[in-house]
Copies of this chain bind each other. A is one copy, B any other.
Amino acid sequence: MTYKAFTEQDAIDRVRTLGLIGDGAVEAEEIGDGNLNLVFRIREGEHRLILKQALPYAKVVGESWPLSLERAWIEQSALREFARHAVPFVPRVFHASHEEAYTVMEDLSHLTIVRSGLLAGEQYPLLAEHIGSYLARTLFHTSDFALGPVEKKRVARTYYNPDLCDITEKLIFTDPFHDAETNEIETGLEEEVARLWADDELKREVAKLEALFITKGDALLHGDLHTGSIFASATETKVIDPEFAFYGPFGFDVGQFIAHLFFAAYPDYPTRRDARIKDIDTFWLTFASTFRALWEREAVEPFQAPGLVDDVLSTILQDALGFAGCELIRRTIGLAPVADLESIDSTTERLERKRHALRLGAALIKRRTECRTFDDLRNFDVTEELSR
């Protein structure tokens, strides 16, 4: 079968042919935001499925940004790989087609997208712990340290994902740090942004973080782990959409998630601040203790060397803080703004929060190597940075 973008009827036909639904009355609805993919929810009574199909371009910047359909296969490969290591936190995949670039998976509409839920005042008391566990397990188990270098090289070959990595390289590390067309800078932020663009130390440190992103293949990353890629309830957490998956540095997913917990503190600031700082704390403690336990129990020789895992965790922390800083800056002035900031009604407050995000981002990037342990981040006084 050659690729074509599906209609709702095409989606129904596929899942019926696959025997994933019966012969009863079936409805299908396209519910995606349509930027990169079509997302069909298919219902047969109480039975629900999602069929997600990649589009051959990114609509967000017009149809002129072509994207390889290969990413759909990468996404379903990553979902299956992540499920092997962290099954409670990954949607079930029922079928995937390489040629037609679609995946049929579990519907999660009993849960809410974390970004919208937090904005609406929902609580996710297990979110930070669940994501800490999810990342420790997926990062460790797809690394050389669990798989051994030969098997890791074999697994890593699947995740050749230059198009999507290129988006990250441009939108996170490059464009926000100079006057690029993709930026969306709110009126009133010009002075703050000019200061960023004149900061040579900042630009050098960002270039180092980009170099790390493009050269270090520690583990299979989700690649886009923000609060819009997580479905949750008070008891359940599911990480979706790993189409940016590739072999990258341990600290990248960790840092992106931290950045989006910072963002979640901005609406109703400073009321929600302490809860989100506590989430970051819980997240890191869970991540670090789980990662350490897995390493100590399962790392292949010679990586059981005494003290090595401490160094690895310090490096992950420092890198993560740097990546978090980049994400804070790019989501504040770059192409893909976050509702956490944009939904703040008062212009004065919104600009104030955006300035905070830019300053916190720059501080995390430039001062990340001061943090040997997470306690050093506390000394670093994030709350002060936030309120400066």
Q: What residues of chain A have their CB less than 8 Å away from a CB belonging to chain B?
A: 144-145, 149-150, 152-154, 157, 160, 162-163, 165-166, 169, 173-174, 177-178, 200, 203-204, 206-208, 210-211, 214-218, 301-303, 305-308, 311-312
Contact = CB atoms under 8 A, between A and B. Distances in A.
Contacts of A302: 173-174, 177-178, 203, 206-207, 210
22 contacts: A144-B211, A144-B215, A145-B211, A149-B166, A149-B214, A150-B163, A150-B166, A153-B160, A154-B162, A173-B302, A174-B301, A177-B302, A200-B307, A203-B302, A203-B305, A204-B307, A204-B308, A208-B308, A210-B302, A215-B216, A215-B217, A215-B218
B162 A200 contact: no
Contact of A162 (B150, B206, B210, B217): B150
B311 A204 contact: yes
Provide the main secondary structure of the chain A interface.
Answer: helix
Nearest to A212: B216
Contacts of A217: 215-217
Contact of A153 (B150, B162, B178, B210): B162
Number of copies: 2
B200 A305 contact: yes
Contacts of A145: 211
A207 B311 CA distance: 11
Contacts of A149: 162, 165-166, 169, 214
A311 B165 contact: no
Nearest to A177: B302
A206 B307 CA distance: 12
B160 A160 contact: no
Nearest to A154: B162
A27 to B, nearest CB: 41
A307 B306 CA distance: 35
A163 B149 CA distance: 10
Q: A-B pairs with the 3 shortest C-beta distances?
A: A207-B305, A204-B305, A153-B162
Contacts of A216: 215-217
A302 B163 CA distance: 18
A362 to B, nearest CB: 15
A154 B217 CA distance: 15
